[in-house]
Amino acid sequence: MPYTLNLDTGVLRSFLLIADGHSFAEAADLVGRSPSAVSLQIQRLEADLGAPVFRRNNREIALTLAGERLLGFARRIVQANDEAAVAFRPDAAARGPLRFGTTQDFAEAALPDVLGRFAQEHPDVELSLQVDRSARLVDAVQGGTIDLAIAIRRDHPLDGGTLTEVPMVWIGRDGLELASDAPVPLVMFDPPCSFRSAAIDGLASAGRAHRMVFTSPSLSGLKMAVEAGLGITVRTRHLLAPRLDDVGTRLGLPPLPPIAFSLYVADPGRPWTARDDLAKLCRRAFQG
């Protein structure tokens, strides 16, 4: 196996300070070493690389061509080292409760495994869960009252990328009948609602009339009304249950577009191991 040179991040940190205009004495003070120790660091670096990195005279210290080539590598190595150190700092996981939000589509069907795995990885982190509509979840992330949320994808600066894309389906009670010329009885959230808009637009494109028979601000309310046979709703397949069927094909209802869900992250530029690990577990669960 060929020999691989391992560059010392402490030496590279001293190198960067000098490359950025500090004297050997100033660099030594910033890294907590003596000027002679920093000088020995640079000599060792030059010996390891087999080339001088600084050109010295009585008035200035300048980078050599080898030093210029090293500069970009050194910055990335030191930055990666510092990011890793922050991620594993004892206080990185102790930033108070991790506040997580999700739509009810996923709360019961897809998240138990994610939350169980998270508890194994971070047994000391307090996790709070808010189940709500997408618009309120995104507003909560933006307002800083939720740290991470799964919600319907929208054009928003905190959208952390598509988590999953799933089909919308027409859901009705098992055995529900509907005449082909009858208005479709809809059970929906109050507007604004992406599922409501998709249902109305799809029916209009197919020339089917509809009537709104029941509205509710909660998914449990919609489910109860559909189970009671009041009408049909549009959600993802996660709402299907023993008494609820995908009735679209059987009742001749128009096809529906897929709907995408994203992860929304508060303060995404600030590392937080617990939050970032939960986001990773969500991505694996939905995309794996």
Strand-strand pairing, 98-102 and 127-131: parallel
User: Does 243 lie in the same domain as 174?
Assistant: yes
| Distance separating alpha carbons of residues 171 and 248, to the nearest angstrom | 7
Instruction: Say whether both 143 and 266 belong to one domain.
Output: yes
Q: Is residue 92 part of a domain?
A: no
In a shared domain, residues 242 and 173:
yes
Same domain, residue pair 179 and 251: yes
Question: Is residue 152 included in any domain, yes or no?
Answer: yes
Q: ω before 192 within 30° of 0 (cis)?
A: yes
In percent, the amount of the chain with pLDDT more than 70 equals 94
Average pLDDT, the chain: 88
Beta strands (DSSP E) in the chain are 54-56, 61-63, 98-102, 127-131, 148-152, 159-167, 169-173, 184-189, 210-216, 233-235, 244-246, 258-265
* 265 and 139 co-located in one domain: yes
Answer yes or no: are the C-beta atoms of 272 and 94 closer than 8 Å: no
Beta strand 98-102 pairing with 244-246: unpaired
Residue 2 lies in a domain: no
Q: At what angle do helices 24-31 and 35-49 cross, to 10 degrees?
A: 100
CATH of the domain at 178: 3.40.190.10
User: What 3-state class would DSSP assign to 60?
Assistant: coil
Q: How does DSSP classify residue 97? A: P
Copy the structure tokens of residue 48.
């390891």
Give whichever of 2-11, 113-122, 227-236, 264-273 has the largest mean pLDDT.
Answer: 227-236
Residues 6+ apart with CB under 8 A from 155: none
d(CA 141, CA 150): 10
Whole-number pLDDT of residue 89: 64
Q: Please count the other Cβ atoms lying within 10 Å of the Cβ belonging to residue 169.
A: 21
Distance CA 119, CA 253 (A): 42
Residue with tokens 């190595």: 77
Q: Which residues contact 167 (CB under 8 A, 6 or more apart)?
A: 236, 237, 256, 258, 259
* The pTM of the whole model exceeds 0.85: no
pLDDT band per the 50, 70, 90 thresholds, residue 2: low
284: part of which helix (H) or strand (E)?
A: helix 273-287
On the CB side of 189, how many CA atoms lie within 13 Å of its CA? 20
Write down which residue in 56, 87, 118 finishes a domain.
87
Q: Answer whether residue 119 shows pLDDT above 80.
A: yes
Instruction: Count how many domains the chain has.
Output: 3
* pLDDT of 68 strictly over 90: yes
1 assigned to some structural domain? no
Q: Report how far residue 266's alpha carbon sits from residue 142's, in angstroms, rounded to the nearest whole number.
A: 6
Note the pLDDT tens digit of each residue in 180-201. 889 999 999 988 889 999 999 9
Residue 46: which domain range?
9-87
Domain end call among 38, 68, 87: 87
Average pLDDT of the segment spanning 147-166: 86
pLDDT for 31: 86
| Confidence tier at 96 by pLDDT (50, 70, 90) | low
Neighbours of 140 (CB within 10 A): 20
Shared-domain flag, residues 152 and 268: yes
Any idea what the CATH number is for the domain that residue 28 is in? Answer: 1.10.10.10
* Domain closes at, from 27, 59, 87: 87
Q: Are 80 and 223 members of one domain?
A: no
| Measured CA distances, 189 to 133, 137, 232, 276 (Å) | 9, 15, 12, 32
Distance CA 245, CA 247 (A): 6
pLDDT (tens digit per residue) in 240-258:
888 999 999 999 999 999 9
